[in-house]
Structures are given as C-alpha cells and as structure tokens.
Amino acid sequence: MKIINSKLDRKSYKSFENVETNKSTKLLSNKFKLSNNSLANNPKLNCDNKVKLIDVRNDSRLSNLASVSRDSRTLFILSIFEITLLVLTTFSFSWMIGNTNSNNNNIPYDDLNKNIFGSLIKELINFIDIIPSVSAQTPSGVSCCINSQSGNSCREFPSSECGNECDGTCLPTSCGETTQCKAGCCYDKDEGLCDPNSLKQQCESRVNGNWIDAPFCETAECAKGCCVLGFSSQFVTEQRCTKLSQLEGMQMNFKPEITDELSCLGIANSEKTGACVYGEEIAEENNKRNCKFTTKQDCDSIPGDFNEGKLCSNTALNTVCEKQSSTNCLEGRDEIYWFDSCGNVENIYSSDKQRAWNNGLVLSESQSCNPNSNNAGSSTCGNCDYNLGSICGKFRPGIDDGNLEGYTCRDLNCKNLKKEVSDKSTRINGESWCVYDGILEILFCQIL
C-alpha cells in the first residue's frame, strides 16, 4: 500500500507542478506583453534581462513547493514520535511512582520529597531498561515437578495443580532455575555412549549414567575416533570401541587421530584382509587346520599364518572351511555376502557361484556383479549400494523382491508417495524436498 500511495502521490505532485508552472508562465508572459511597450524604449533593459527575471520567478515557485512538501513530512514524523513518547511516558511514569513509593514507607516526611525526586531522576536515566526488567520477571504461581505422574521429567504446572500432577515434591520455582532440570551431557561409562542435552535428573537415574555440565558433550570422554574391528570400522568413543571389541571377540584398534566419519569408513577398506590359518592339524579332518578371515593385525595376535587376499575356503590352504555354505549381511557393509562353513565372510553374493568364489581369492566390489547398479530386488546379484538406494536386509515375503537365499537388496527409495507429501511419486534415498502449506513457505523453500 505504501508503494502504491507513493506512486499516486508522485503523479498528483507532477500534475500539480505542471498546472502551477503553466499558470506561472502564462501570467509572466502576459505581464511581459503588457510591459513590453514601456520597456522597449528603455536602453538599460534588454530581452535577456526579462528572460532571466521569468526564470528566477519560476524557480522560486518550485522551490517553495518542494519546501512545503519537506516541512509536511518532517512535521508528520515529529508528530508520530511525540505521540509514541507520550504513551510510553504515561506507563513508565506510573511505574516509577509506584516503585518509588514502595521503597519510601519508612522515610520521614521532611526527606520524602527529596527522595522522590532523586529516585525519579535516577529512574528516568535508566528508562531504557524499564521494559526488559519488567518482562524478565519470573511468572508467579508456577511450580516445577521433577517427576510427573505421566512419567515425564521437569514439567511446570500451576502451583494449585502441581500436587495432583507430580509424583513427588513440587518446587516453588520454574524448572529452568532448578539444578536437577539443567541440560548437559549424559555419559554411559559402560557402553561408552554420549547423549547430549540430557536432563541431569534423567541421566543420574540411569544405571551407568554420568551427567556432565556440557550440553553438546564437548568432553574428553565423548571424543570420537576410528574404531577398526577386523575389516569393519566405526566412528565412536574409545570406551565404545572397547565394548564392541569385547562383544565381537576381536582385537581393538582405536585411532584417535581420525576425527571424521568418512575418513574412518575409508580405513576399513584399506585394511589388508585375508585367510589366517592357525592351530594344529586336525586328524579327524584329514590333517586340515582352522582358519579365520580377518586382518593381518588380528591374525598376528592369534597367532596364525596370514594369507593376504585369499579366502579360508581356498583349497591351497588345506583348511576345514567349505565354500559358500550360507548367505548373510555383514556389519558395516551394504552388500549380501557368501559365508563359508566356518562362518567366515567370502565374496559378494552372485547366482553364478563359481564367479563369485573366484578360485578362492578376494573379489572387490567393483569386480563383483553389476557394480554400477543398486541391484534392488535383484534375483541374481547381491551387490547392494546404499548411496544408490539399496542395502542388505532379510527377505520379507510379499514386500521385497529378489530372494537371495533368505536375503535381498532392499530398496531404500520412496515410492507411491501421496501428493500432500511430495509433488513426485518417487524420491531417491537421501533426496530432500520442501513440504509447504502456502505461498510464503514456497518462497522460503525456493530461497533455501
């Protein structure tokens, strides 16, 4: 509305300006004609002087018009400022009088006037702080319940209702001012897990909960590094790495110098893996030996003979492990894998068993079946790829396609989406989009 009015005002002003200028020019022209004969015989006045006189008069009228416009705007702004100041002063002056009187109950009458005016001056100087100081006051009649009967923690209720809603004592203050309701980091000393923005009361109620005054868990206990276990890796805390090592029965290799998850995941693929043949020959098994598919570092700790790039079912190693006994998912990996009779992982699943076994040698992902596809729902290839929209999962009859001996490359993409959720019926895994209700949200979405 302001822009429209401004344009209309400019047009009105231009019309008014043209009318006034034309009137002025006409009047001056007439005056010039009337006085032309009388001036013609005067040698001291010439045509140039007359033209200059007309120009000066025209400029003077326009200048006066602009001056009136500027004065009107100035008066308007001053009027708004004075009205606003008057309204604010009414409330603030009442507040200052009340505040002053509340502190003067015991002051002698002779000193009361001096004290009042002194206080008023002081309050007037601090006028800018009046509104914030009033709004920052804690609301009255509110109590904090540490544990409510509904199972929630640190809930505020009206003081008259708190006793019925709370499972315990109601504190006569807001929860934000209660130590037990302060947010911090909850560190599980056994599991090595860190939970940011946890309430102190909730954290300390856990079996191994240790509350730390650091809402974002920026502490030494929660510092993460790369935990390498066999041929998989996770970006976790050192204590968490120790716990996983105990659960999986593998030697821990924690690398605190790795400070981001992508670098950590890359380490697992760079670890040397192979068949670790160990133990004595087993007579009952035709003098064959046991084998574990693992990293060289883990093999050295067993100890055993490490054979890089070979599967435990490799016939040249003479182990008790038979090839391609079952299929399964592998922790930290996307694909479906063959497993030997000893439970060791082999190569990525393919219905072409001989190609998948690769004569007992390790076959990389890029060398396996359909490396450039997500293979979602495939009935022949288990080379799933999370980045392309699939991951290994148990086969669900009636839901999934492609039963690879109990497992499938599960499709992670969203399909058959409703119109109120997405303008497209299919969305790729990892894709993001805006859901909006109106024009303003559309504009905001486009800006993002």
Highest-pLDDT range among 27-31, 49-53, 96-100: 96-100
Helix axes 47-102, 109-125, angle to 10 degrees: 130
**Short-list 366, 388, 370, 387, CA closest to 378:** 370
CA distance 405 to 220: 45
Over residues 23-41, the mean pLDDT reads 36
431: pLDDT confidence band, cut at 50, 70 and 90? confident
Residue 119, pLDDT score: 54
Mean pLDDT of 37-66: 38
Q: Specify the pLDDT at position 174.
A: 87
Q: What is the pLDDT of residue 313?
A: 97
Are residues 114 and 121 in contact, defined by beta-carbon separation less than 8 angstroms? Answer: no
Q: Domain segments of the chain: what residues? A: 1-137, 142-212, 224-267, 268-410, 413-448
pLDDT of residue 435: 67
Average pLDDT over residues 207-220: 93
The mean-pLDDT minimum among 81-95, 254-268, 331-345 falls in: 81-95
* 19-23, 47-51, 253-257: range with highest mean pLDDT: 253-257
- Dist. CA 156–CA 111, nearest whole Å: 45
Per the listing, tokens 């002056």 go with: 93
- 87 band by pLDDT with thresholds 50, 70 and 90: confident
pLDDT of 293 over the 60 cut: yes
Q: Which amino acid is at 219?
A: T
Residue 270 phi/psi, 5-degree rounding, is -90, -10
pLDDT in tens, 296-337: 888 988 899 999 999 999 999 999 999 999 999 998 789 999
- Whether a cis peptide bond, with omega within 30° of 0, leads into 215 is no
d(CA 183, CA 444) in angstroms, rounded, equals 32
Task: State how far the Cα of 377 lies from the Cα of 409, in Å rounded to an integer.
Answer: 6
Q: Is pLDDT of 237 > 90?
A: yes
The answer to whether residue 440 scores a pLDDT higher than 50 is: no
- Band (134; pLDDT cuts 50, 70, 90): very low
pLDDT of residue 445 exceeding 50, the answer is no
Report DSSP state, residue 180: G
Which has more pLDDT, 74 or 360?
360
Q: What is the pLDDT of residue 109?
A: 41
- Tens digits of residue pLDDT in 149-168: 888 888 888 888 888 888 88
In 3D space, the residue among 289, 292, 298, 285 whose CA is nearest the CA of residue 311 turns out to be 292
Q: Using CA atoms, how far apart are residues 158 and 141, in angstroms rounded to an integer? A: 6
Backbone angles phi and psi of 167, in degrees to 5: -100, 70
Inform me whether the pLDDT recorded for 71 exceeds 60. no
**Contact at 8 Å (CB) between 327 and 382?**
yes
Average pLDDT over residues 7-33: 36
Which carries the bigger pLDDT value, residue 122 or residue 408? Answer: 408
Side chain identity, residue 343: G
List pLDDT tens digits, range 192-204: 999 999 999 889 8
Taking alpha carbons only, the member of 222, 290, 217, 286 closest to residue 256 is 222
Give residue 167's pLDDT: 83
